[in-house]
Structure 1
Amino acid sequence: MKNLFIILFTLFSLSVFAQTDEEKAQANNPLAQITAFNLQQYYSPNLTGNSEATSSTYWMRFAKPTGRVLWRASLPFSTFSNPETGVSTSGLGDFDLFAAYLAVSKSKLSIGIGPSVSAPTATHATLGTGKWTAGAAAVAFASLNPQLQVGGLAIWRTDVGGDAQRDDVNILAFQPFAFFQVGKGLYFRSAPTWNFNLEKGTYNVPLGVGVGKIMKINKTVFNFFIEPQYSVLHYGDNQPLLQVYSALNMQF
Structure 2
Amino acid sequence: MWVLLPGLVFAADTKPPAEEGQDHQQDLAKAVQNPVAALISVPLQDNVDLGVEPGDRVRNTLNIQPVVPLPLTRDFNVITRVILPILYQPDLGDGEGGTFGLGDTSATFFLAPKKPGALIWGIGPAFLLPTATNEVLGTGKWSVGPSVVALIQPEPWSIGVLANNVFSVFGGDDRATVNQLLLQYFVSYNLPKGWYLTSAPLLTANWEAPSGEKWTVPFGLGAGKVFTVGKQALNGSVSAYYNAIRPDLPGAAEWQLRIQLSFLFPLKKKH
Question: Quick one: which amino acid aligns to residue 163 of structure 1?
Answer: G
- Percent identity over the alignment is 28
Structure whose residues are more often strand by fraction? 1
Show CA shifts across 1:106-148 (max 9, x none): 3754200000001100001111000000001101122111x21
Offset at residue 51 of structure 1 (A): 4.1
- Superposition RMSD in Å: 1.9
Measure, in 2, the Cα distance between the counterparts of 1:156 and 1:97: 13
Matched, 1:37 2:49: no
Measure, in 1, the Cα distance between the counterparts of 2:58 and 2:133: 19
Contact preservation (8 Å) 2:25, 2:226: no
Question: Quick one: which amino acid aligns to residue 88 of structure 1?
Answer: G
Question: Quick one: which amino acid aligns to residue 107 of structure 2?
Answer: L
Q: Secondary structure at the match of 2:27?
A: helix
Question: Quick one: which amino acid aligns to residue 241 of structure 2?
Answer: Q
Corresponding residue for residue 211 of structure 1: 223
Offset at residue 247 of structure 1 (A): 0.4
Q: How does the TM-score come out when normalised to structure 2?
A: 0.81
Corresponding residue for residue 184 of structure 1: 193
Show CA shifts across 1:64-102 (max 9, x none): 111111000110001022494122111000111100000
Q: Call closer, same or farther: CA 1:131–1:232 in 2, change over 3 Å.
A: same
Corresponding residue for residue 132 of structure 2: 122
Corresponding residue for residue 3 of structure 1: none
Q: Secondary structure at the match of 2:216?
A: strand
Alignment of 1:1-252 (within 5 A): 17-18=21-22, 19=24, 21-47=26-52, 49-67=53-71, 68-82=77-91, 84-103=94-113, 105-106=115-116, 108-145=118-155, 147-201=156-210, 202-217=214-229, 220-237=232-249, 238-252=251-265
Structure 1 consecutive aligned stretches of length 4 or more whose deviation exceeds 6 Å: none
Measure, in 2, the Cα distance between the counterparts of 1:141 and 1:31: 9
Q: Secondary structure at the match of 1:78?
A: strand
Measure, in 2, the Cα distance between the counterparts of 1:218 and 1:29: 24
Measure, in 2, the Cα distance between the counterparts of 1:107 and 1:36: 23
Contact preservation (8 Å) 1:17, 1:218: no
Q: Call closer, same or farther: CA 1:30–1:220 in 2, change over 3 Å.
A: farther
